[in-house]
Amino acid sequence: MDSDKKKYLLIMLMLFISSCNSGQQKLLVISKTDYAQQLQGFWLGQNIANWTGLITEMDKIGTAETMPFYTDADWGGPDQKAYWGEYVPHAKTIDFYFEPESQPWGSDDDTDIEYMYSYLHHQHSTGKLSAEQIRDGWLKHIYSETDAPIFKKFPDSPGQVENFLWVSNERARQLMEQGMLPPQTSLPANNPTSSMIDAQLTTEIFGLFAPGRPDIALQIAELPIRTTAHNEAYLVAQFYVVMHSLASAVDPAKSLQQQTQWLAQQASLILPKDSSAYRIYQFVLAQYQAHPDHWEQTRDAIYQRYQLERADGYVYAEPFDALINFAASLVSLFHGQGDIVRTIQIGSLAGWDSDNPTATWGGLLGFMLGIEGVKQAFELQQVSTSYWIHRTRRNFPDHTEQQPGEDNFANMAQRDLATIDLVVTELMLGSGRDSDNSWVIPVKK
């Protein structure tokens, strides 16, 4: 990033923090009991969206071999092969995926690194991780390319060593093994893949650690984002963190459609006006406003403008670029109009790295609805709330020895509540108050 842009971003962040700490303020009172239900909704919504989106991941990436893109007509139809020539093992049709109560949700890169960060906060009793804590956590809990176990996608497949890291995450871990710390692990000179999607699917949870206070959330998320993301990818990850933080400060009298659009508008304020991320945001928003009932038209306009024409300073490189997937995520956010079911459906059909945007919005909307709201939205009488972190990661305690998997959403939420206690009392410089039953947090009115 050049010095002028760095200065501009610093000024923007300082102004943003100042606006949150000055002027008219109100007190945001949050029930811990309610917040625990919302955190469980975050994990359930994210897992449903993740495993639904995985069915179509990389099926449609805008190349001659993968065209045409999916449309609503493909929902409920047969899944097609991803561009690398394989199907997914867990589903044959393009439809919502639900894990039954008897089975845990398997971890994936959309959830497992967030799980690790959540665990590290609790383990170290801190509201903000250091570079050393991040590096040590990565090396302890994430397999290398040589010590990972053999993974078989299908029972009769030969299997291969798989550590479930790709592009920027993969490179960052290699650099950590060589002794490097964040944020050096995301500098382009060290990590040429730092413009990829990685950070935006691993850091949203930091917004939930600072309810109603995006200024604090950005401080907590800074090093984790900088572990793998630089420049535009960094901005996109910040956008998601801000949305998740402000989800606690939405107007409850508004509809979910109005709430999600307000969240997006507020998060867009941190994007520099000359950034590709901001221009993409404005373009997708304008497309949605022009034809709100035709999401395929918005997606096709994105393909034309960014993958083919390389507009707004963005030069498309890979289907897992941060920016092409940011654009695709906005399609499902805007056209989904706050409906978690419709948002995940559109996200799964939109194309490119389709499990990532779906997991982001499944988690956000799941948090806003709470776990019971997620079940009601999908008309679920029973669904798994347990989690199998050792599917992809290692060296975590088994919190549920008598049940499948190593953890469950209720346990995970309780650990996060303890982290938020620390954030409210320590990082908010004494302005927040913590009691047994609630937090009192000053926010900009």
In angstroms, how far apart are the furthest CA atoms of the chain? 64
Write the DSSP assignment of 163-200 as a string of letters: -S--HHHHHHHHHHHTT--TTGGGSTTT-TTTTBSGGG
pLDDT of 11: 40
Q: How far is CA 243 from the centre of its chain?
A: 11
pLDDT of 7: 44
pLDDT of 386: 98
Q: Which two tokens stand for residue 432?
A: 């927040």
Q: Radius of gyration over alpha carbons of the chain, in Å? A: 20
pLDDT of 23: 52
Full set of structural domains in the chain with CATH: 3-13+28-444 (1.10.4080.10)
Task: Give me the amino acid identity at 314.
Answer: Y
* Cβ contacts of 241 within 8 Å, gap of 6 or more: 203, 204, 206, 207, 214, 217, 218, 221, 225
| pLDDT lower than 50: segments of the chain | 3-4, 7-8, 11-22
Residues in a beta bridge with 243: none
Q: Which two tokens stand for residue 298?
A: 């918005």
pLDDT of 20: 47
The model's pLDDT over 80-105, given as tens digits with 9 standing for 90+, comes to 999 999 999 999 999 999 999 999 99
Q: What is the pTM of this model?
A: 0.94
The model's pLDDT over 133-188, given as tens digits with 9 standing for 90+, comes to 999 999 999 999 999 999 888 777 788 899 999 999 999 999 999 999 999 999 99
pLDDT of 380: 98
Q: How far is CA 219 from the centre of its chain?
A: 17
Torsion angle defined by CA atoms of residues 344, 308, 240 and 258, in that order, rounded to the nearest 10 degrees: -60
Q: Which two tokens stand for residue 367?
A: 């948090």
